[in-house]
Structure 1
């Protein structure tokens, strides 16, 4: 997708203010649902400040997340772009906006392109199983986008326009105000682009022209010092050209996405020891698309309509230096879509308990659990335990253990989708056998993969996550290191089950008996001065299937020499791991401010080592003899200049050295040069 710009608030564009913000120990709420300083948390966490987002010049959530250590943004079958954390797919990362979840995972991935960064105060990232607080979608972690909130009497705002490569235009507006008891924010963003094209086919582009609009008002009313009402709304609409070549005919139509969400929360401070939050959240995600044939007659229609209603009550009890947090809630979710026979309903109830215990000043223990009752699968208990021990004022050790659970969703069970333009097919496990038989009778099937069976039931997934790390922070240097291990039983993943006569694959969902991922992540930041800092991040990660390792040990896995065409037995060292996982990812970032001329420079370089997308030697695993996507580097550069704190000019280039790999990486379109002008008031 093409990025759009994000407007920023006037008081936060000043270089001096940004520097001051960076020196503070940031407040973090996602990991515990209570305010905690980032350095004191016993869990693997990170935070992205609005000042860094502004300096980087990024405009969509996928852009800023792709620059973070341990996170890879990957495209999915439906054209969206999700995140991979600690080697786990994007379906297992929960995305929140102000603490409430986004929906609309039409292809298993929640598309990060839907979220503009223009009104973000900070992004909080928790890595590792977080089901003890957030339920079954948080096996890999949680990303919480927290929007700006006025803290004192003020009235400010900004408008901006951004022009970029591919005829991309963005117009943004921001307001923030507070007057006595009433305050609020208002953010809007309009984006349009001509898209980009990697295809040789003149009729179809890789990304078709599209435009979208986001509107986010949020209001606060203080009835008293102890009672505050918060009302937040979010509207998003996207329209995109939809084209396909079907049986040598050029078909075209439109694809529309409409999303809205409403959040109402009452914050009540009973006294100095008890605080409660009463929250109601409702959201709807609707997508429709159609294709007409060259004569203008309707060829294909599809729709997706998902609703979520969730009331929740949370209470925190302060007990001396400790905190006890409890919560109870209900989820009611419905889904109607083209590729299901019936309307689907999910009903669940849950409660959770968490104890934040500080037996001595140097030791913090975080323990808790969540219990889910669901109408589609058995009740589930998800515990967690974490500890942070401060060895000295500069060094702390942290460790955490968490358990997660995720039942197969209806997409994995009953999906029946064929991409009419490309031709690939994705089938739910329960319908795959009958549909493959139908394809065979219709002459659409070239071959089936040997050894694939649909005789068993698709089972729920469970995950155990372990982290062990350390934080060092003294003077100008800050370093943290974290070793992680995930053991996922009955992981549900896609595999090729057949090949169609058009050359495209048929995919379905399977339990992989036991997957494990392990690795180490390292981050370091050094501030040479208040105006110049450099950071470095690196992750080494291995992700493998234990059943494949066992089969190799039993001498059951072979590969074919591409030259001699002779088969030979593989060893464990020949097994590379799971598809679309890189063993090495790294980044280096430089931020330099020149206060005298009110100028900021931001340079970020991101590296990803080789990875495999498909089995290319027909043994159904990724081994070192398969074809790989080569390693690559992406460099992003931006320069910002402020004039009297009212006008900001920003220029830059994403993918500065114009890296592309059209055949294997569809979400990197090449160099994107941009310029942005903003007026603050």
Structure 2
């Protein structure tokens, strides 16, 4: 039945070419320079005047691409790469920094539930998104921990007119993938409401047919997101928002040639209450109360249906916050204060652990002339588990003329030690090694010693002082140019990260296995340049090109290269390498690029959307045993991915769409688990 439905959509796409009313949207319906954004400053600003490196993804771009999940649309942006971790979840890499350093927000409030620092972004549907705002570079001055590398804010649609409107859509794709959306918006006088519902299911895919376990197992999930708005007056407005997410996935594993099966369940709940109060023309307040809970629970049974393993994860965040903006002529002073209460109960934690922190932030948006804009601010965080943090930031934009501006920023960011790095207590049952969080390591080592399980401790290791937060200094220098049909955006960046938290051996057990714990060890740096350009040949034909060059290296490797300068080659000969042969950090590509072509055929009211993406080679493992990635290691080869979507408007309200992601069916089963091969899709959407 589903196949017939897909064929119907594809056939219908090729007919009904008769001209009807003019289609509402065009390729260039809104110039990006006119888009107003809030994430970079927490106040509404025009994008082109912002002194920070920022990217906007509009709802129109999302629809025309044909994608359905947040991870898919982010992976199409310049300077953003989605990297799968050992759990299979895809995490954001921006400016060479890992996913743990990027904060993910929905309507300005954070998501929780990170696995090894990675949020599963596929759990966020794009069916009700108004726009996505991406701020690159240290943003701790406004958002605190987890924003050391940047912020991604997903902003959902809101009722705007006194009427009932909405969107209904259904998309069917390869691997029996189904995505159904309903987004309903209603407004009447002072009251308005928005209800979004999404259902997603897939059979998963398998890149290696020689094993019974799939690369991605089948799963289904649903999202329900109701939002209510009430305007007591023009100066007093209330928003109540909730989001519920539930997922059920087949859980399978092969352990010592034995097959194990079970289930993995995820549940997420977010609730936000916000009161906006404009005291007068100069003074504006926001009072916000936010709570969120993320749970997952998975188990594996053996072939006799006897429980073999169970893991669980239950995290809570409760955050009240108050913000105010004071308008002073052409300038704005923004300030805020809040409290975070966090708790996590999970497998391999001895107890339910709790964090609490208090914070204040201040930012001054200074406009001395029409040409100059200066953003200066800081945030102070007081935390129960690590040293207090002061995060300053300064950004400047100079408008040379109406077409050309220069911008630069310097900021401090930090990343707090997470629950895992402080409280983990895990011993591998089959191999026997142990990983201990910093705060529990000393007591557990003493316990191992009293039980006769330790052979020796590593000399010079102590847990006397607290584990420090990772910190970064971030520099950005760029330019924005827009004239006639051409638009250019260039940004050079540099990040210096100190106190990087990593594992090291703290003891050896009598079984020959090691005990690991977490320490502030490394200092790394990343630098590069990002380039984006768009050229509108006509109002119906545009082309854009994006490129990022990246270098990311460990400073301790460069400073102590003599410890890594000898390798064993393919002939098992010892060979000395040069410092210039050091490639850098793992899973980083020096070159990434994209080419996007958008073409509208007005006569048949059809949009063609072609996107081509390139990622150069990168290394995943040290294959020649010198503990670093050098050019003689084994690399994942560079590759291209091509996505194509065609949208046909039958009427102003009815759209049919067909396309292919990974059009040329690229796969690399042995190295890349998150590229499934060609995925064909068809979609029908009705706007009312």
Q: Same fold (TM over 0.5)?
A: yes
| 2:545 corresponds to | 536
Partner of 2:16: none
Is 1:246 aligned to 2:255, yes or no?
Answer: yes
In structure 1, C-alpha distance between the alignment counterparts of 2:643 and 2:265, rounded to whole Å: 31
The answer on 1:180 being equivalent to 2:192 is: no
Name which of 52, 61, 65 aligns with 1:56: 65
Structure 1 match to 2:523:
514
Match of 2:391 among 372, 382, 391: 382
CA gap 1:563/1:191 in 2 versus in 1, 3 angstroms: closer
Structure 2 segments unaligned to the other structure (5+ residues): 1-5, 7-21
Aligned 8 A contact 1:244 1:421 in 2: no
Which residue of 1 is the match for residue 119 of structure 2? 110
Find 2:499's aligned residue among 485, 490, 497: 490
Q: How does 1:119-518 map to 2 (within 5 A)?
A: 119-416=128-425, 428=437, 455=462, 458-493=467-502, 509-518=518-527
Is this contact kept in 1: 2:478–2:491, CA < 8 A? Answer: yes
Q: State whether residues 407 and 460 of structure 1, in contact with CA within 8 Å, keep that contact through their aligned partners in structure 2.
A: yes
Give 1:430 shift.
6.0
1:639 corresponds in structure 2 to 646
With structure 1 as the length reference, what TM-score do the two structures score? 0.92
Give, in whole Å, the separation in 2 of the partners of 1:642 and 1:49: 19
Q: Which segment drifts farther, 258-267 or 424-433?
A: 424-433
Question: How far apart are 1:294 and its partner, in Å?
Answer: 1.8
Counterpart in 2 of 1:591? 598
Given candidates 654, 658, 661, the residue that maps to 1:654 is 661
- Secondary structure, aligned partner of 1:413: helix
Determine the C-alpha separation between the residues in 2 that align with 1:662 and 1:638: 25
2:44 to 21, 30, 35: 35
- Report the Cα distance in structure 2 between the residues aligned to 1:238 and 1:658, rounded to whole angstroms: 28
1:546 and 2:546 aligned = no
Classify 1:286/1:69 alpha carbon distance in 2 versus 1 (closer, same or farther; 3 Å).
same
SS of the counterpart of 1:576?
Answer: coil
Q: Secondary structure of the equivalent of 1:577?
A: coil
Deviation of 1:423 (Å): 11
Residue of structure 2 aligned with 1:671, choices 671, 678, 683: 678
Aligned partners of 1:227 and 1:388: how far apart in 2? Answer: 33
Q: Is the 8 A contact 2:458 2:507 kept in 1?
A: no
1:206 to 1:421, Cα distance in 2 relative to 1, 3 A: farther
- Aligned-residue offset at 1:128: 0.4
| Mapped contact 1:27–1:35 kept (Cα < 8 A) | yes
From the superposition, tell whether residues 334 and 489 of structure 1 become closer, same or farther in structure 2 (CA, over 3 Å): same
> Aligned to 1:21, what secondary structure does the other structure show?
coil
Aligned residues: 662
CA contact (8 A) 1:67 1:606 kept: yes
TM-superposed deviation, 1:421: 11
Note if 1:601 corresponds to 2:608: yes
Structure 1 unaligned residues grouped into runs of 5+: 6-12
Partner of 2:635: 628
Give the Å deviation of 1:215. Answer: 0.7
Q: Do the aligned residues in 2 keep the contact of 1:156 with 1:176 (CA within 8 Å)?
A: yes
Deviation at 1:551, TM superposition (A): 1.0
Structure 1 contact 558–567 (Cα < 8 Å) conserved: no
Quick one: distance in 2 between partners of 1:520 and 1:544?
Answer: 16
Q: Is the 8 A contact 1:243 1:421 kept in 2?
A: no
Give, in whole Å, the separation in 1 of the partners of 2:646 and 2:508: 49
Secondary structure of 2:583 counterpart: strand
TM-fit CA distance, 1:293:
1.7
SS in structure 2 of the partner of residue 79 of structure 1: coil
Q: Is the alpha carbon distance of 1:377 and 1:529 closer, same or farther for their aligned partners in structure 2, counting shifts above 3 Å?
A: same
C-alpha displacement of 1:465? 0.4
Q: What TM-score results when the alignment is normalised by the length of structure 2?
A: 0.91
- 1:55 alignment partner, SS class: helix
Query: What displacement does 1:198 show?
Result: 2.0
1:199, distance to aligned residue in structure 2 (A): 3.0
- Write out per-residue CA displacement over residues 402-445 of structure 1, whole angstroms, 9 at most, x where no aligned residue: 001223122123324579999998654567899999999x9x99
Q: How far apart are the structure 2 equivalents of 1:679 and 1:352?
A: 44
Q: Determine if contact 1:429/1:454 at 8 Å carries over to the other structure.
A: no
Measure, in 1, the Cα distance between the counterparts of 2:334 and 2:540: 40
Give a deviation string over 1:466-506, Cα, whole Å, max 9, x none. 11111111111110111111110011246899999xxx999
Partner of 2:625: 618
Change (3 A) 1:669 1:317: same
Single out whichever of 423-432 and 271-280 deviates more from structure 2.
423-432
CA RMSD of aligned residues (A): 3.0
